[in-house]
Structure 1
């Protein structure tokens, strides 16, 4: 099923439909946008017909200089059975030959009041967001001091209870139980909650609670960039846990690697405080302050002095 169709951008950007209404349900498969200047000059060898075609003042003024025969030929070749839309910007007058060609091939011919470059940027951002690779992960996503923390772990380990404590401490819930993740760039993962369970937390023994209703609008947010993964697991006495913080584990989500910390769970450990401190420490590391590294260097200096 197509993620985005031509009718979606018509609604999103309030575009005027000039011709080709029958094609409004065409799928948009790429976020790349084409400005077909070289095609209007007659070179169609590498024409990206699967892209949205954007025509501004430059393209239309050039088309006016063509002979009637060439104009009809070029406009006709711009309209293919897979072209999702042709958009004219700046509210410019649309040539009659383009209207006829679009109507003939059922290619949606649209018009925008916005300037070409600005509209191109906004349209590209919208399409990249909608067409980005996506996945879903069982976990909880919380915004802690501006750090998007994805809390994972087996069912019943205490993820939702920890999230509730974090919300009480002033942090913001993004998603509970199921986190929808999209990769907006090579190293940018953005998580959000499915519409059905947005703002909801499931607490065993208590049931489902609405975080926004209980704690206010400041306790939730719709989406957040994921920067850190914290995996909760039941304490295993036979497992050696990292005690210095020098080793940095990674977790791959789609094509992006995210820093991962494994936190053992057992009675008496305040997970909310531990995760809160882990988030602050993560921010410090990004600013160049690494307590574990500094300790290791001081320890090495003391050892060297002792040896001497």
Structure 2
């Protein structure tokens, strides 16, 4: 069996999930990966056979999306050309993790596909949303990467086609410890936006993962790390808690490990706003600004007695067996 797997590279979570899935996918056949977008900073040794700039995200300085830059960098002609050049008809199965180029290619070439991943869960109206829904956000969920089949992933099984999160083997097989530090992963924030707040709580030690850091180093109560799977996994497994965005993979892994979470969803990012609603329902504190009082917010958060429901890990062989068995049915 020949398998085409499209990864949206507008963040590191999609690559992390594909990396975890790859050994299991290989048991079903030969896998070629397509990387679409240029926001990911995570190195990968996946067999990426095709690439496209696709549609990428751009951030403002302190925690928001920069829509003018997003629109400015969209190249419709190139996207159409990339979609036309994808040889999808030679594959038995096309798996699309929310990539618009692959969805367009499937439409142009009349090839069946399945949308598999977190964004697929939002096809269901039962998946949590904020009180104020975004018309544009809902249109993106529905039309950005449509597929005739959907297999979603989310914190809970909100609908019949939604499965638990993909948790990395290293997390599942770990023995969590609390070595007292706070792990920080907030890729939409520049260093200058948060450094003062972290320094204002000198008794709290932070492991801060930043795209702009090239080598691990320590200044005061902050240990700076380049973004990388090995060090991040180690930090997460041994942390007291994590401060992160309103993404999916990182909060899911943190809850699986029983770690405290403080979530700051990216501003004007509807998917993250939806995730924040789901996290709040699970008891996770969510803040929408990291202003001058952020240091005090961190201290208050650390003083909270927080418990979450037990996070279930996805049974990957069973999920993939279901995906391949139901493909085109």
TM-score by length of 2: 0.22
Higher strand share: 1
> Which of the pair has more CA radius of gyration?
1
